[in-house]
């Protein structure tokens, strides 16, 4: 019985395309497994939020000490003012003015302190939000890793199975035909074989002469598409 080499090569191409597709997916999986982009980004955001909070917190502590210090000074000055030890009206007036000035300073400091404390609270909320985002990124990655690892194992075993099929199938093909196939493969984007159907070549869709149609149907020799140069297998 005459071997139909075009049909054999078409089957070989189907296996090769399958292997290429699986290898492509394996590469994607490896890229995804190694991808820490989201975690790196989330970690940087936590650090940035902490860095933004630090000076605000320091400023609030500083203002709080200043308010206490002014309050102590007011109390001290008022004690002196109302102690009765001082009877010089000019000195008393000066003391009262000092108390008034200190109280104005105290009010102003308290307002600044309050605003700063609000900023600290906002900054703390930003830290909490960034930390939650980091936790989510870590959990998402951990979950994804499990799925990807399982898929990787499946793809690796599928590749091995298809490669075995290819080896067995290639062993049945005339080495001269394999050589033609391999020669065309790189030039023709991994698709050196097309199917000849009623509408012509399945790759370039150009109709072929009746002689070519007949030769492809007979399958006794390798026939090429007149337009794209691919080996034609019968449908
Ligand atoms: Zn063609």
Q: What is the mean pLDDT of each run of 10 residues along the chain (235 residues)?
A: 87 98 97 92 97 98 98 96 89 95 98 98 98 96 94 98 98 96 94 95 96 94 96 95
Q: Distance from the CA of 215 to the center of ligand 1, in angstroms? A: 15
Same domain, 118 and 225: no
Q: Distance from the CA of 132 to the center of ligand 1, in angstroms? A: 57
pLDDT of residue 3: 83
Q: Distance from the CA of 171 to the center of ligand 1, in angstroms? A: 27
pLDDT of residue 225: 97
Does residue 56 fall inside a structural domain? Answer: yes
- 233 neighbors 14 (Cβ within 8 angstroms): no
Q: Distance from the CA of 231 to the center of ligand 1, in angstroms? A: 8
pLDDT of residue 5: 95
Domain count within the chain? 2
Rg value, the chain, Cα: 42
Q: Distance from the CA of 143 to the center of ligand 1, in angstroms? A: 46
Q: Distance from the CA of 201 to the center of ligand 1, in angstroms? A: 5
Q: Cα(164)–Cα(182) distance, rounded to whole angstroms?
A: 18
Does residue 168 fall inside a structural domain? Answer: no
Question: For residue 187, what are the contacts with CB-CB under 8 A and spacing of at least 6?
Answer: none
Q: Cα(196)–Cα(161) distance, rounded to whole angstroms?
A: 29
Same domain, 9 and 64: no
Q: Distance from the CA of 38 to the center of ligand 1, in angstroms? A: 46
Q: Cα(26)–Cα(32) distance, rounded to whole angstroms?
A: 10
Question: What is the H or E stretch that residue 234 is in?
Answer: strand 231-234
CA 81 vs CA 48, 71, 85, 104: distances in Å: 50, 15, 8, 17
Closest CA to 197 of 232, 231, 149: 232
CA 63 vs CA 33, 50, 70, 80, 107: distances in Å: 49, 20, 10, 26, 12
Q: Distance from the CA of 232 to the center of ligand 1, in angstroms? A: 8
Same domain, 108 and 207: no
pLDDT of residue 212: 96
Q: Distance from the CA of 68 to the center of ligand 1, in angstroms? A: 90
Same domain, 152 and 78: yes
What's the domain range around 76? Answer: 36-157
Phi, psi of 37 (to 5 degrees): -50, -50
Q: Cα(82)–Cα(90) distance, rounded to whole angstroms?
A: 14
pLDDT of residue 35: 87
Same domain, 65 and 150: yes
Give the end of a domain, one of 98, 124, 157.
157
Same domain, 98 and 139: yes
Helix segments in the chain, DSSP class H: 5-33, 37-82, 89-171, 175-187, 210-218
pLDDT of residue 2: 67
Q: Distance from the CA of 193 to the center of ligand 1, in angstroms? A: 9
């Amino acid at each position: 019985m005459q071997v139909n080499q075009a049909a054999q090569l078409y089957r070989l191409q189907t296996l090769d395309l399958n292997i290429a597709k699986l290898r492509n997916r394996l590469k994607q999986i490896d890229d995804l497994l190694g991808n820490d982009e989201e975690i790196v980004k989330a970690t940087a955001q936590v650090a940035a939020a902490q860095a933004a909070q630090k000076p605000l917190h320091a400023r609030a502590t500083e203002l709080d000490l200043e308010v206490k210090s002014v309050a102590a000074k007011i109390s001290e000055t008022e004690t002196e003012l109302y102690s009765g030890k001082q009877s010089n009206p000019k000195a008393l007036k000066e003391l009262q003015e000092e108390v008034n000035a200190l109280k104005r300073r105290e009010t102003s400091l308290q307002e600044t302190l309050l605003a700063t404390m609000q900023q600290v609270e906002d900054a703390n909320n930003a830290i909490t939000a960034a930390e939650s985002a980091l936790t989510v990124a870590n959990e998402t990655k951990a979950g994804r890793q499990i799925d990807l690892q399982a898929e990787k194992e499946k793809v690796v075993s599928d590749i091995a199975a298809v490669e075995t099929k290819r080896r067995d199938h290639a062993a049945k093909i005339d080495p001269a035909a394999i050589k033609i196939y391999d020669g065309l493969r790189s030039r023709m984007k991994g698709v050196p074989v097309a199917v000849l159907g009623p509408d012509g070549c399945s790759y370039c869709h150009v109709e072929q002469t009746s002689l070519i149609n007949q030769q492809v149907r007979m399958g006794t020799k390798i026939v090429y598409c007149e337009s794209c140069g691919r080996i034609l297998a019968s449908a």
